[in-house]
A and B are shown apart, each in its own frame.
Chain A
Amino acid sequence: MRTLDTNEISAAVYRLARKAGTTLSDSCRAALARALDGETGAAKFALETALENEIVAKREGMPVCQDTGMAVVLLTLGQDIFLTGAPLRDAVNDGVRRAYRDGCFRKSICDPLTRENTGDNTPAHLHVEIAAGDKAEIVFLPKGFGSENMSRLCMLTPAEGRDGILNFIVNTVKEAGSRPCPPVYVGVGIGGSFDSCAFLAKKALIREVGTDHPRQDVAAIEHEALARINALGIGAQGFHGKTTAIGVSCEVAPTHIAGLPVAVNIQCHCVRCEKETL
């Protein structure tokens, strides 16, 4: 048994949030730099601006994008950990609150009906999973809503199968067009239930851009979807070009014999994701 004070989790959330808001993930930066190759005109201008923007953000100590997002926190907690201190949810929210205040991040969370802003970007969207061992892994994903708004979920029939999955992924990106800040990173959930499928799509965005799913048949869907999306020609910011998506990442889970849920969670070209293990 290991004792862990939730203050330490709060401090880690703070560190991760500050870093995530002000930097692109390494794999995202590399993918954007690769996408520059062969682009011309406005699409090239958009990609150059995106890359230069991160340099300005670093130099000036500013968030890369003003949409510093909804704070998505995924905590994988070893079952041999005994938590002490403030309630876990309060500790996580406290880390978010302090990071968004000190980092001059925008507070973007509001009541869905009155639209009144909570003023401190809380509550965070906290997922906790219990795992073996005594380590705590924390992932911080600030999720902007220009791209979140373009995300979709569909309950396909089993008969629609692989083709149905591919068509739904490609059509979701096509319908989103220029709105979610392409080139996008496409997170896909396949299987599970209505709710867990959407979460799988979110988890898919944690994977490094440009890596394959370990299952060969799933990786093949990722490759085929990416090729078809890039053949759409939407391009960076919708200005036409070769790169509409920098990657497609799928996560799968067993589902019911009667169903085939598929969720597509769109991430803009500012892939910001940081993790730490305590």
Chain B
Amino acid sequence: MKHLSLPLTKEERLALRAGDCVLLSGTVYTARDCAHRRFFELLDQGLPLPFDPHGAFIYYAGPCPAPAGKACGSCGPTTSARMNTFAPRLLHEGLGGMIGKGEMSAETREALKQCGAVYFAAIGGAGAMYGNAIGKMELVAFPELLSEAVYRLEVHDFPLVVAHDAHGGTVY
């Protein structure tokens, strides 16, 4: 199993192929449907996003509250297809890629290819395992969205599959 550390260089992203199983560590940002809508409102007004998108990875996830002594609660991926309307524009803003579950659209795959970015699939339903692999969790934006707010997570050895690579390859 290949170990990867974020941020990934463009060369590292280009070296990944659909179907590769990897263990990913580093900083990711959570965002789901509502947070993405807010990102677009900010971009439409010419305002910056709550985090620098260049090379950043968004994790499509909304965690459970953290039990005592833990940084984060159960935190597996949500269905990525709901973010197809948002992903291409964010990739063109410089995003390094995304983590979620399930296949994404042809438009998103084309944007990944154009931008040299990569989409990883986490294993849906394995929330406890992913939550337990999060060492640190900080609120970044939109606290009123509760579990759907944007959080910065420090993840350690996330088990992932390269689902859509930067060359148009797909595991699905």
> Which A residues are within 8 Å of any B CB, using their own CB?
41-42, 45-46, 49-50, 52-54, 56-57, 60-68, 104-108, 115, 117, 119, 146, 149, 177-181, 237-240, 268-270
Closest approach, in angstroms, between the C-beta of B93 and any C-beta of chain A? 24
A108–B103 CA distance with the chains assembled, in angstroms = 23
B73 neighbours in A (Cβ, 8 Å): 62-63, 66, 104, 106
**Contacting B161 at CB < 8 Å: which of A45, A104, A117?**
A45
Q: Is the CB of B159 within 8 A of A66?
A: no
Contacts across chains A and B counted by CB atoms under 8 Å: 147
> Which B residues are within 8 Å of any A CB, using their own CB?
19, 21, 34, 61-67, 70, 73-76, 78-79, 81, 101-103, 121, 123-129, 131-132, 146-147, 159, 161, 171-172
Q: Is the CB of B74 within 8 A of A146?
A: no
Q: Is the CB of B121 within 8 A of A62?
A: no
Given A177-B172, A179-B102: A45 touches B159 (CB 8 Å cut-off): yes
Interface SS, B side: loop
Q: Is the CB of A181 within 8 A of B124?
A: yes
Known: A105-B64, A106-B65, A146-B79. 17 other contacts (CB 8 A): A42-B161, A45-B159, A50-B126, A57-B128, A60-B131, A62-B132, A66-B63, A67-B76, A68-B64, A104-B67, A104-B73, A146-B78, A179-B81, A181-B101, A181-B124, A237-B121, A238-B102
Q: Is the CB of A56 within 8 A of B129?
A: yes
CB closest chain-B residue, reference A57: B128
Q: Is the CB of B129 within 8 A of A52?
A: yes
Query: What are 8 of the A-B contact pairs (CB < 8 Å)?
Result: A50-B125, A60-B67, A65-B74, A65-B124, A66-B75, A104-B65, A106-B62, A177-B102
